[in-house]
Structure 1
Amino acid sequence: MVTDVDRAIERAGALIGRLSPQAQRLQQRVRQKRRAHFLKKLGRVVIAGGAIMVASALFGLFFAPIGSTGVMLAVGLWILAAWVLLVYPSFPEASTETLVQTDLKYLPAQTEVWLASQRKALPAPSQRLLDGIGVRLETLAPQLQTIDPREPAAVEVRKILSDHLPELVNGYKRVPEPMRRERQSTGQTPDQQLEAGLKLIDEEIGEMTRNIAAGDLDKLATQGKFLELKYRGMDGVES
Structure 2
Amino acid sequence: MTTERFDRVIARADRVMRQLDERDGAVRDAARRERQRLNNDLVRRFARVGVAIGVVSLITIIVGLIVPIGMFGFLAAVGIAIGIAAVLGFMPSQSRGPAAPPADLPNGQMVQRFDSYIYRQRAALPAPAQAKLDAISSILPSLRQTLERIDDLNPEAQDARRLMSTHLPSLIDRYVNVPPAYRSQKDGEDVTVDERLVEGLEAGRAALAEISDKLARSDVQALETQGRFIKSRYGEERIDG
> TM-score surpassing 0.5?
yes
Identity of aligned residues (%): 28
Match of 1:47 among 20, 35, 51: 51
1:164 to 144, 163, 167: 167
Tell me the CA shift for residue 202 of structure 1: 1.5
Distance 1:92 1:25 in 2: 22
Alignment deviations for residues 44-97 of structure 1 (CA, whole Å, 9 cap, x no partner): 111221222233223333x1443322221221121121022113353345524x
Instruction: For 1:148-159, list aligned pairs within 5 A.
Output: 148-159=151-162
Out of 77, 82, 106, which is 2:85 matched to?
A: 82
Distance in 1, matches of 2:115 and 2:86, equals: 29
Paired letter, 1:39: V
The one-letter amino acid paired with 2:204 is I
Distance 1:175 1:69 in 2: 59
Assess if the C-alpha contact under 8 Å between 2:129 and 2:198 holds in 1. yes
In structure 2, distance between residues paired with 1:99 and 1:120: 22
Question: 219, 223, 226: which one pairs with 1:220?
Answer: 223
Give CA-to-partner distance per residue, 1:173-222, whole Å, 9 cap, x none: 34332221233332322212211221222122112111100011111122
TM-score by length of 2: 0.81
Moved more, 14-23 or 203-212: 14-23
Structure 2 segments unaligned to the other structure (5+ residues): 1-11
- TM-score of the superposed pair, with normalisation by structure 1: 0.82
The match for 1:4 is: none
Secondary structure of 1:105's counterpart equals helix
- For residues 95 and 150 of structure 2, the distance between their equivalents in structure 1, rounded to whole angstroms, comes to 24
Conserved in 1, the CA contact under 8 Å of 2:48 and 2:88? yes
Corresponding letter in the other structure for 1:216: D
Aligned length: 226
Q: Of residues 103, 124, 133 in structure 2, which corresponds to 1:130?
A: 133
Residue 116 of structure 1 pairs with residue 122 of structure 2: no
Tell me, yes or no, if the aligned pair for 1:129 and 1:202 is still in contact at 8 Å: yes
